[in-house]
């Protein structure tokens, strides 16, 4: 047993020893052997004899080196000949073998093996990278190098082993790991950078911090900027960080920030000289890094505003002398700064606002006057230089400073905020920046202009807007903007559309107050129309508005704007003067505009009626009249629409209250769910009933007693006022075309439209609306309609005014024949049903009946439908009994009207175009007047004076001439009919 064991032991002993021998011989090339076998032997030695690890690993070094060389040679052959030589199979197999064994060591016993293996692999990587640097690849860029080596099996394996080791160690022994990495890096820099970069991306945090501090230490060694620029170590730091920046921007930012912040903390007690020097050099170092790498610059600038608040700037002030010394002169430092700012591709807006803040430093700090002054001056200089540089590059079409422009463009929102700053310098700087950007980028220009326009609160803001839009750097002829009315048109287009969308979605615009925006538009337009602003001579505002008139008027017409905004709108539209006939600038709006505009302005009229402020209201009325005059003269459609809208809204919408309409206030119907049975049960408990009683409560029928109707009405003055203006507005719609004789004249055709409209609205029927009056009997057929019309008149007093308007402009009243007929018919019915109640003349119903009767006859007389003496009836009628009134209405008025169809044919046109019915010619025959005369004679006591007027004092010559009309007809016309208007 023992001997067996010994033998076994001896065999193993022999094995290990012979392995060792084979290995030594193989490595020293004393015996030629298969590299794969040799590797296997080496690995088995490594497993059994840890003491031999150094030798084994150094043998592996040669293996990896050979493999890398093969790879590099293969690439070189490929470059020169174009064919890829086959890769050695041995290399692959050997490396795989080694990889798996080493990895198993690392995973199995990380703490023991990882430091050994990682040190070895890093060192080897360093050697390989240095050895083959400059071979097989032309570019020395880090990414290309990384690409090259990651394609190599050997180095890729090494990197993999390294990262595995580091990932095992990184938590327990960070410092040692990174030190090993950086030591190798320093030794083999810059060829080793790709390894650091790659490893760095596996452990970004640690590597970045360490690389930075390593770079800073190196930077401190340099006495001047020029020296610093040429340091190879800095270049590799930049390379590594630049590589890491692509994927670990945040970590780098944090590390940089940490470095920066720690440099600010000056602790004299703890810092030794070296650290103090480092702290001083930190910011030049950071500046230098940013100068070398745009990625780092971006990382630094991304949140510079928060990194360097003003307090920190004051703190930094103490270092400035040192920096200036370092850079040679303050100008050199300034140049570097300006260059950096121009290059930065992120956070430019923050830099700008930081500079601006510095310029207004005294607002924040008042510690040291001189210091503040110096900081202010420098900040201003830097800002000025930056702006000049951009200006220069834009004017000369250089593409060098597009970094900052891109950055600013991406952060345009921040610039916008500055734009609204009350400080002139700040806002103008922002405006300038926007102009710079807008030079090449109209979309941003429009966005900014839109922002400014929407948020402008002061004239200063609007002045900035005008400046931006009209600056020389802005190419105003750029298509397609030019054809569409300029940039401002695009701004308005966006704003209007957004506004409409917002309304559609939200239905209420409480969140945002747009009134200021509309007011801004008005101010701009006023400026333009005042012709005092040079920059607005090109009428950009008008053109822009005209371009967007459809949406603008749509907003005006359809959205529920508040009154203030509506006034602004109206004023804008009035100033805009649509349609324009000025020579050169003539503008004829499209149909949609006309329609929207008309609807809008009509609505606005009613809004004005509700306006409390007298002055604004009057202004609004005038505005409405002016606009409607222009519009209706321009377009028939507008007129028809305007009239229709005016009449309809005034009569039937809720606005009718404004014109004295009586509204039945609906008393909300309280629905009682109480069951009758329950009510009775309740009652039977309270009322002591005899046993056999069966008295029941019958309940309430319907809603109980009819409530008296209460009217809601405005003050009489207001109603009269409103009515006057409505009539005025309607008249304005009916005026003739401007710049002609009939400019102030109400055209007959137009007023006929009004009367037709009235018929359309008032008569509920489509039949029997013709002009002729039928037999009186026939009114029984139409009684229902007649009563409807009558009720409408009594509830809407405005109708009388409209009738008067129509009556004045003869012969338009003829078309309202049906209405008058209906009224007359109802009057006849009512008077006849009144009977003898005429004695009680003071009752309410009598009064209103009499009033209505007088009004009807008045309207008929006004419209010359009733010639004298019938027209005088209104004066006498109040003295008569009801049956007399009935008789007069029937025999005189109805019969006359029935026999003389009220048609325009009754009227003649005089030379002035005035329609006129000659009272002498049209004197009714006695059939129609007899009843009246007899009744008047009967009541001669009371109506004597009127009788004389009506029947006796007929102008003599008139009578004589009437008798001889055949012979002197032409003269008669001259004398009695063609009376001049002013008379």
Q: Of 11, 34, 58, 151, which one interacts with other proteins (CB under 8 A)?
A: 58
Alpha helices in 246-368 (DSSP H): 249-264, 273-292, 294-302, 304-307, 310-316, 320-327, 330-343, 348-359
Cβ proximity to other proteins, 48 vs 367, nearer residue? 48
Please compute, for residue 924, the number of CA atoms within 13 A of its CA located in the half-sphere on the CB side. Answer: 30
Strand partners of residue 746: 735
Assigned token pair, 536: 């607005």
Q: Which residue is listed with tokens 């296997």?
A: 40
**Residue 28 or 397 having the CB closest to other proteins:** 28
Q: Which stretch binds other proteins (CB under 8 A): 53-61, 95-103, 408-416, 555-563?
A: 53-61
Rounded to 10 degrees, the C-alpha dihedral 15/17/19/24 comes to: -170
The nearest distance, CB 33 to other proteins, in angstroms, is 15
Decide: is 387 part of the binding site for other proteins (CB under 8 A): no
Number of amino acids touching other proteins (CB under 8 A) = 29
What secondary structure, in 3-state letters, does 905-952 show? HHCEECCCCCEECCCCCCCCCHHHHHHHHHHHHHCHHHHHHHHHHHHH
Region near other proteins per CB under 8 A, out of 49-57, 314-322, 677-685, 814-822: 49-57
43-51, 123-131, 152-160, 857-865 -> range binding other proteins (CB under 8 A): 43-51
Residue 862 CA to residue 864 CA, distance in Å, equals: 5
**Cβ nearer to other proteins, comparing 105 with 192:** 105
In the complex with other proteins, the residue whose CB is nearer, 102 or 358, is 102
> Considering the rule CB under 8 A, would residue 668 count as an interface residue with other proteins?
no
Binding string, residues 116-135; x marks residues near other proteins by CB under 8 A:
--------------------
Site for other proteins contains 13 (CB under 8 A): yes
Q: Is 27 in a helix, a strand, or coil? A: helix
Q: What angle do CA 283, 285, 290 make, to 5 degrees?
A: 95
Residue 473 contacts other proteins per CB under 8 A:
no
- Residue of 11, 34, 54, 693 that binds other proteins (CB under 8 A): 54
DSSP label of 771: S
SS3 336: helix
By CB under 8 A, name the one of 113, 487, 556, 659 that touches other proteins.
Answer: 113
Rounded to a whole number of angstroms, the minimum distance from the CB of residue 174 to other proteins is 19
Closest residue by Cα to residue 865 from 911, 829, 815, 822: 815
Q: Is 746 helix (H, G, I), strand (E, B) or coil?
A: strand
Specify the residue, 26 or 660, whose C-beta has the smaller distance to other proteins.
Answer: 26
Region from 23-31, 255-263, 377-385, 494-502 binding other proteins, contact rule CB under 8 A: 23-31
Give the C-alpha separation, 770 to 767, whole Å.
8
Q: In angstroms, rounded to a whole number, what is the distance separating the alpha carbons of residues 909 and 912?
A: 8
- The reply to whether 901 sits near other proteins by the rule CB under 8 A is no
Q: Following DSSP, what letter does each residue of 800-862 receive, concatenated?
A: HHHHHHHHHSTTGGGGGHHHHHHHHHHHHHHHHHHGGGGG-TTSHHHHHHHHHHHHHHHHHHH
Please state at what angle helix 614-634 crosses helix 636-652, rounded to 10 degrees.
140
Is 1 a binding residue for other proteins by CB under 8 A? The answer is no
Distance in Å from the first CA to the final CA of the chain: 157
The CB-of-330 to other proteins minimum distance in angstroms stands at 52
**Residue 663 lies near other proteins (rule: CB under 8 A):** no
497 binds other proteins (CB under 8 A): no
Rounded Cα distance between 404 and 803, Å, is 73
> Binding to other proteins by residue 7, rule CB under 8 A?
no
Segment contacting other proteins (CB under 8 A): 51-59, 82-90, 702-710, 865-873? Answer: 51-59
The interface with other proteins within residues 742-761 (CB under 8 A) comprises: none
Question: Distance between CA atoms of 818 and 759, rounded to whole angstroms?
Answer: 8
Q: Which region among 45-53, 66-74, 326-334, 938-946 touches other proteins (by CB under 8 A)?
A: 45-53
Q: Which of 5, 270, 396, 708 binds other proteins (CB under 8 A)?
A: 5
Inter-residue contact 429 to 418 (CB < 8 Å): yes
Q: What size, in residues, is the chain?
A: 983
**Residues 621-660 as x/- pattern, contact with other proteins by CB under 8 A:** ----------------------------------------
Q: Closest CB to other proteins among 52 and 825?
A: 52
Does 38 contact other proteins by CB under 8 A?
A: no
What is the rounded CA–CA span in Å between residue 857 and residue 864? 10
Q: In the 3-class helix/strand/coil scheme, how is 549-581 assigned residue by residue?
A: HHHHHHHHHHCCCCHHHHHHHHHHHHHHCCCEC
Does 50 bind other proteins (CB under 8 A)? Our answer is: yes
Q: Which stretch binds other proteins (CB under 8 A): 46-54, 184-192, 289-297, 965-973?
A: 46-54
CB 54 to other proteins: min, Å = 4
Helix (H, G, I), strand (E, B) or coil at 599: helix
Stretch touching other proteins by CB under 8 A, among 24-32, 502-510, 617-625, 702-710: 24-32
User: For other proteins, which residue of 34, 109, 227, 843 counts as binding (CB under 8 A)?
Assistant: 109
Q: Report d(CA 860, CA 870) in Å as an integer.
A: 10
Q: Which of 38, 39, 41, 57 binds other proteins (CB under 8 A)?
A: 57
CB distance 865 to 904 below 8 Å: no
Please report whether residue 20 would count as binding other proteins according to CB under 8 A. yes
Q: Does residue 59 touch other proteins according to CB under 8 A?
A: yes
Among 33, 36, 55, 257, contact with other proteins (rule: CB under 8 A): 55
- Looking at the Cβ atoms of 15 and 513, the one nearer to other proteins is 15
| 165 in contact with other proteins (CB under 8 A) | no
Six-digit token string for 5: 């064991």
52 binds other proteins (CB under 8 A): yes
Q: How far is the CB of 70 from other proteins (least distance, A)?
A: 21
CB of 108 vs other proteins, minimal distance in Å: 7
Q: Does 3 bind other proteins (CB under 8 A)?
A: no
CB 49 to other proteins: min, Å = 4
Q: Nearer to other proteins by C-beta: 47 or 560?
A: 47
- The answer to the question of residue 64 lying near other proteins (CB under 8 A) is no
Q: Is 21 in the site for other proteins (CB under 8 A)?
A: yes
What minimum distance in Å lies between the beta carbon of 43 and other proteins?
Answer: 14
Contact flag: residue 176 with other proteins (CB under 8 A): no
**Could you say which residues in the range 181-210 bind other proteins, by CB under 8 A?**
none
CA distance 172 to 166: 10
Report the residue from 7, 11, 17, 309 that binds other proteins according to the rule CB under 8 A: 17
* Consecutive H or E run containing 117: helix 110-131
| Nearer of residues 21 and 325 to other proteins, judged by Cβ | 21
Check: CB of residue 214 under 8 Å from CB of residue 182.
yes
* Residue found under tokens 């700040």: 426
CB of 62 to other proteins, least distance (A): 9
CB closer to other proteins, 158 vs 632: 158
Tokens 């803040």 locate to 357
Token pair, residue 860, equals: 């008929």
Closest of 459, 450, 632, 623 to residue 544, by C-alpha? 450
| Inter-CA distances, 609 with 388, 616, 711, 766, Å | 57, 10, 20, 33
Integer Cα distance of 595 and 630 in angstroms: 14
Name which position in 1, 3, 32, 51 contacts other proteins (CB under 8 A): 51
Q: Which residues bind other proteins (CB under 8 A)?
A: 5, 9, 13, 16-17, 20-21, 23-24, 27-28, 47-59, 108-109, 111-113
């Amino acid at each position: 047993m023992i001997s067996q064991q010994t033998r076994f032991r001896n065999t193993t002993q022999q094995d290990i020893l012979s392995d060792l021998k084979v290995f030594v011989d193989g490595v020293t090339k004393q015996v030629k052997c298969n590299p794969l076998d040799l590797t296997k032997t080496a690995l088995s030695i490594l497993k059994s004899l840890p003491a031999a690890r150094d030798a084994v690993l150094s043998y592996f070094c040669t293996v990896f080196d050979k493999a890398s060389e093969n790879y590099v040679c293969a690439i070189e052959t490929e470059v020169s000949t174009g064919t890829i030589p086959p890769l050695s199979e041995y290399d692959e197999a050997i490396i795989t073998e080694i990889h798996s064994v080493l990895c198993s060591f690392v995973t199995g016993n990380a703490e023991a093996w990882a430091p050994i293996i990682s040190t070895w692999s890093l060192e080897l990587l360093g050697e390989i990278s240095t050895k083959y640097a400059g071979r097989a690849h032309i570019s020395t860029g880090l990414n290309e190098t990384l690409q090259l080596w990651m394609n190599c099996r050997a180095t890729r394996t090494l990197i993999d082993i390294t990262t595995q080791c580091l990932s095992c160690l990184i938590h327990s022994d960070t410092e040692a790991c990174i030190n090993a990495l950086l030591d190798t890096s320093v030794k083999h820099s810059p060829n080793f950078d790709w390894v650091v970069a790659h490893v760095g991306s596996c452990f970004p945090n640690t590597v970045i911090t360490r690389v930075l501090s390593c770079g800073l230490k190196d930077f401190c060694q340099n006495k001047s900027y020029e020296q610093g620029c040429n340091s190879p170590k800095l270049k590799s730091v930049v390379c590594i960080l630049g590589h890491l920046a692509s994927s670990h921007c945040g970590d780098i930012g944090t590390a940089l920030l940490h470095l920066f912040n720690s440099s600010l903390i000056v602790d004299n007690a703890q810092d030794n000289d070296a650290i103090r020097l480092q702290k001083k050099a930190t910011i030049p170092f950071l500046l230098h890094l940013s100068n070398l790498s745009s990625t780092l610059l971006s990382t630094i600038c991304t949140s510079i505003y928060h990194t360097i608040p003003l307090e920190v700037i004051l703190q930094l002030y103490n270092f400035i002398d040192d920096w200036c010394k370092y850079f040679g002169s303050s100008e050199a430092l300034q140049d570097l700064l300006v260059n950096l700012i121009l290059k930065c591709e992120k956070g430019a807006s923050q830099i700008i606002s930081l500079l601006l803040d510095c310029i207004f430093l005294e607002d924040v700090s008042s510690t040291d006057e001189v210091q503040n002054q110096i900081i202010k001056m420098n900040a201003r200089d830097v800002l000025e230089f930056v702006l000049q540089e951009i200006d220069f590059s834009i004017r000369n079409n250089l593409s060098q400073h597009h970094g900052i422009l891109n950055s600013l463009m991406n952060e345009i929102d921040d610039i916008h905020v500055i734009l609204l700053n009350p400080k002139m310098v700040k806002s103008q700087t922002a405006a300038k920046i926007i102009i710079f950007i807008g030079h090449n980028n109209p979309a941003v220009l429009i966005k900014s202009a839109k922002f400014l326009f929407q948020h402008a609160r002061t004239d200063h803001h609007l002045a900035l807007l005008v400046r931006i839009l009209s600056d020389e750097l802005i190419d105003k002829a750029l298509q397609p903007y030019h054809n569409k009315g300029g940039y401002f048109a695009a701004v308005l287009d966006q704003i209007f559309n957004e506004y409409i969308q917002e309304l559609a979605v939200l239905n209420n615009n409480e969140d945002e107050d747009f009134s200021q925006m509309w007011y801004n538009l008005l101010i701009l337009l006023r400026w333009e129309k005042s012709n005092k602003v040079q920059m607005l001579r090109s009428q950009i505002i008008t053109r822009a508005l005209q371009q967007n008139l459809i949406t603008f008027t749509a907003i005006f017409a359809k959205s529920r704007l508040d009154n203030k905004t509506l006034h602004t709108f109206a004023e804008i539209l009035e100033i805009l003067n649509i349609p324009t006939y000025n020579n050169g600038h003539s503008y004829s709006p499209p149909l949609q505009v006309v329609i929207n505009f008309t609807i809008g302005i009509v609505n606005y009229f009613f809004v004005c009626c509700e306006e409390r402020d007298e002055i604004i209201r009057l202004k609004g009325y005038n505005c409405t009249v002016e606009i409607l005059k222009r519009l209706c003269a321009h377009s028939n459609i507008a007129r028809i629409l305007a009239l229709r809208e005016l009449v309809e809204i005034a009569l039937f919408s809720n606005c009718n209250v404004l014109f004295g309409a009586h509204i039945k206030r609906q008393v909300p119907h309280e629905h009682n769910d109480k069951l009758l049975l329950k009510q009775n049960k309740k009652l039977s408990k309270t009322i002591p009933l005899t046993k056999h009683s069966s008295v029941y409560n019958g309940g309430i029928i319907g809603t109980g007693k009819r409530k008296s109707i209460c009217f809601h009405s405005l003050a009489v003055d207001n109603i009269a006022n409103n009515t006057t203006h409505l009539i005025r507005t309607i008249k304005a719609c009916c005026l003739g075309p401007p710049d002609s004789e009939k400019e102030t004249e109400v055209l007959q055709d137009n007023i006929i439209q009004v009367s037709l409209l009235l018929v359309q609205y008032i008569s509920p029927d489509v039949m029997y609306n013709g002009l002729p009056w039928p037999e009186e009997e026939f009114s029984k057929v139409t009684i229902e309609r007649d009563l409807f019309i009558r009720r409408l008149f009594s509830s809407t007093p405005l109708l009388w005014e409209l009738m008067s308007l129509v009556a004045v402009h003869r012969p338009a009243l003829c078309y309202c024949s049906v209405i008058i007929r209906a009224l007359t018919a109802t009057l006849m019915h009512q008077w006849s049903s009144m009977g003898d109640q005429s004695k009680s003349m003071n009752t309410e119903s009598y009064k209103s009946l009499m009033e209505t009767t007088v009004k009807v006859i008045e309207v008929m007389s006004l419209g010359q439908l009733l010639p004298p003496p019938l027209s005088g009836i209104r004066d006498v009628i109040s003295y008569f009994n009801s049956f007399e009134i009935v008789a007069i209405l029937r025999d005189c008025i109805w019969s006359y009207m029935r026999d003389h169809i009220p048609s325009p044919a009754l009227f003649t046109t005089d030379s002035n175009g005035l329609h006129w019915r000659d009272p002498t010619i049209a004197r009714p025959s006695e059939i129609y007047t007899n009843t009246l005369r007899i009744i008047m004679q009967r009541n001669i006591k009371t109506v004597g004076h009127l009788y004389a007027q009506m029947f006796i004092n007929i102008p003599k010559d008139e009578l004589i001439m009437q008798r001889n009309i055949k012979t002197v007809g032409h003269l008669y016309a001259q004398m009695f009919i063609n009376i001049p208007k002013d008379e």
